[in-house]
Amino acid sequence: MNFSHFQAGLVNDGRTRAETDLTTFEEAIGLVLCDLLEELEIVQDLQVFHARTRSVRNRQLAIEAVGEDPVDGTTSIVVVLNTPDVDSSLKKTEIDRAVAGAEQFVRLAIAGDLQPHLEESAPAYELAEYFRDRSSDTDRYRVEVVSNASATQGVKQLSFEPATIGSATMTFRVWDAARLHNTVSSSSQREPIEIVLGEEGEGVPCVHGGTTEDGIKTYLFTISGRHLASIYDDFGSRVLESNVRGFLSARGNVNKGIQWTLNNDPDMFLAFNNGLTTTATDVTLEQHAGALRLKSLKDWQIVNGGQTTASMWYFANQNKKRNPDKLANLDGASVQVKLVVVDDERASEIVPDIARYANSQNKVNLSDFSSNSPFQKLLDRQSRNVLAPSQEVQYDTRWFYERTRGAYENARARTSGARVREFDAHNPKSQKFDKLEVAKVENIWRFAPQVVSKGAQSSFLYFSELIAKEWNRDENQFNDAYYRDLIARLILFRSTRSHVQEAPWYTTGYLANIVAYGMSKFLYDLQDMFDEHMIDLGAIWREQSCDARVMENIDVACEAARE
């Protein structure tokens, strides 16, 4: 998908969502951009506030959403700069105001100076209380300024000095439409990170372990605990392969045995610890005094040893405040690293396999949280082959499953002329869905609204673990009948969401929570009365809509959930 199609797609998605959700373009494009940041794993588990207020000096303070990464402890703050005009440019003054506004919002909120000027029912008040309540436990804030506009070259080269808020640091990044497009278009759908090795970039000694027939190279080296902790401090959970990140999110990231060794016997760390297995798509090497040195790694991913890495960072983070002298222990703790260099085009297929096999030799049961799991691939095929019944039109349509971001626009871009209209007719944009929405719907159906309310990524990780177990028990249960029922559940979910937004009792806020808890309560009560869900999913599939009587009963449950 070229850039112009991508940028126009963002605006169109915003307009479509505004119509569907009965909201403004500003709010809708904010949701679209927040969803994109989550899909690209730039942020985790966003809670949308759409908080708007002004300081006593009349400076606009605006924050769209916040999210907490359970693996690296970062609180992400999303600020949206939107425009309905695809040709507009992102200006430096806009970014400066957005960055300053986010920083001031947090400062004033923590000090308690913002709340007296806000209505307690306002999203800005709730967000201010969120920051104040968590301030003592927060070490890092990362402000993500995201826009559907494209920045000029000068703006793209902007860098911001980290700010200090209490004992926490705040860093800033800008995601304009071009940067988002580059990330979506990459084979990994992730912005590659580059790691420079050695204290001054001089690299580390390494050994070439061998090269396979198809060009996959392996290297061995060691890295100090301090350097590993520093890398994790800079990049956070982005250095962890997605399946490893999912495992740590579910199981925890601090190992007590590692903490004991770092405290009491750091020189023995290399002997005691299994080390890391990692991958990269490219490396920089040089010969120095007859020895091979590894200087930098492109798109470095830790596929085994994520807990070791996070534990190193945790030790450093805890002791830099309480006992700085202990940081010297990290210099004495060496970590062995196996590095597998995989071509960029093949990385998305091979790296998850390396992660799975590397972890199969220990007690880690690594679920596949990627878009390449057998279940995800099956949904992709079913969405192409199972046609939805025609309603007011003369032809059947498809529910288009986006297994990877941009799949819909890429498929549409491959058509031209009259075939574009044909594609749109058979694949209406309103029938596009993705893995995060599937997870929400299926978790609600399994009576887990508390998981859905944690955020999209936590919901997806939880569902992936469940589906992996169910797949291993009997993969044949996920047949075309399952797919039709899934779409029926999706229709029920979307209908409920729209119904709640139009309900006279609904004001604003907590929409996702109300829908999740309301639907789960309704389904649970049905099962309690009739020993099964008793929703005629077949009728919903055939009609591609929900019966009014069902919606009336869900309305009662959702209103109760609001309380």
Query: For residue 283, is it within any domain?
Result: yes
Residue 382 pLDDT exceeds 90: yes
Query: For residue 370, is it within any domain?
Result: no
End-to-end CA distance of the chain: 45
Structure token digits, residue 268: 């023995």
| Cβ contact 441:537 at 8 Å | no
* Statement to judge: residues 305 and 403 lie in one domain: no
366 — pLDDT class (breaks 50, 70, 90) = very low
Residue 391 pLDDT exceeds 80: no
Q: For residues 299 and 419, give the distance between their C-alpha atoms in angstroms, rounded to a whole number.
A: 38
365 — pLDDT class (breaks 50, 70, 90) = very low
* Statement to judge: residues 171 and 250 lie in one domain: no
> How many CB atoms are located within 10 Å of the residue 425 CB?
12
Query: For residue 313, is it within any domain?
Result: yes
Residue of 411 and 554 predicted with greater confidence? 554
* Statement to judge: residues 157 and 285 lie in one domain: no
Query: For residue 62, is it within any domain?
Result: yes
Of 307, 330, 364, the position where a domain reaches its end is 364
> What pLDDT, in 10s, does the model give residues 277-286?
998 999 999 9
Q: How many CA atoms lie within 13 A of 96 on its CB side?
A: 5
* Statement to judge: residues 124 and 253 lie in one domain: no
Phi/psi at 30 (5° precision): -60, -45
Query: For residue 408, is it within any domain?
Result: yes
* Statement to judge: residues 350 and 219 lie in one domain: yes
Query: For residue 326, is it within any domain?
Result: yes
Percent of the chain whose predicted confidence (pLDDT) is above 70 = 92
| Cβ contact 66:76 at 8 Å | yes
Residue 48 neighbours by CB under 8 Å, 6+ apart: 30, 31, 34, 64, 65, 512
Longest dimension (CA), the chain: 80
> How many CB atoms are located within 10 Å of the residue 496 CB?
24
Residue 430 pLDDT exceeds 80: yes
Spell out the SS3 assignment of 27-40: HHHHHHHHHHHHHC
- Can you give the pLDDT at residue 117? 92
Of 364, 391, 416, the position where a domain reaches its end is 364
- Can you give the pLDDT at residue 380? 93
- Can you give the pLDDT at residue 156? 64
> What pLDDT, in 10s, does the model give residues 490-540?
999 999 999 998 899 998 778 899 999 999 999 999 888 876 657 899 999
Residue of 180 and 190 predicted with greater confidence? 180
Structure token digits, residue 425: 């007719």
In angstroms, what is the C-alpha Rg of the chain? 25
Domain count of the chain? 3
* Statement to judge: residues 144 and 97 lie in one domain: yes
Residue 87 pLDDT exceeds 70: yes
Query: For residue 369, is it within any domain?
Result: no
| Cβ contact 174:151 at 8 Å | yes
- Can you give the pLDDT at residue 83? 85
For residue 39, give the CATH number of its domain.
3.40.91
* Statement to judge: residues 237 and 302 lie in one domain: yes
Residue 246 pLDDT exceeds 70: no
- Of the listed ranges 327-336, 427-436, 502-511, the one predicted with least confidence: 502-511
Pairing mode of beta strands 276-280, 334-341: parallel
Pairing mode of beta strands 400-402, 432-434: parallel
* Statement to judge: residues 404 and 552 lie in one domain: yes
Q: How many CA atoms lie within 13 A of 446 on its CB side?
A: 17
* Statement to judge: residues 57 and 173 lie in one domain: yes
Residue 363 pLDDT exceeds 60: no
Q: For residues 237 and 244, give the distance between their C-alpha atoms in angstroms, rounded to a whole number.
A: 9
Query: For residue 536, is it within any domain?
Result: yes
- Can you give the pLDDT at residue 394? 64
* Statement to judge: residues 344 and 401 lie in one domain: no
Q: For residues 78 and 379, give the distance between their C-alpha atoms in angstroms, rounded to a whole number.
A: 31
Of 185, 211, 231, the position where a domain reaches its end is 185
pTM equals 0.75
* Statement to judge: residues 39 and 163 lie in one domain: yes
| Cβ contact 397:428 at 8 Å | yes
- Can you give the pLDDT at residue 192? 78
> What pLDDT, in 10s, does the model give residues 250-296?
555 557 888 999 999 999 999 999 899 998 999 999 998 888 999 99
* Statement to judge: residues 418 and 532 lie in one domain: yes
Structure token digits, residue 228: 């590993």
- Can you give the pLDDT at residue 334? 96
- Can you give the pLDDT at residue 393? 60
Residue of 315 and 238 predicted with greater confidence? 315
Q: Residue 137: give the domain boundaries.
A: 3-185
Q: For residues 558 and 554, give the distance between their C-alpha atoms in angstroms, rounded to a whole number.
A: 6
Residue of 458 and 401 predicted with greater confidence? 401
| Cβ contact 455:46 at 8 Å | yes
Q: Which residue has the tokens 């605990």?
A: 225
Residue 160 pLDDT exceeds 50: yes
Residues paired with residue 269 on neighbouring β-strands, in sequence order: none
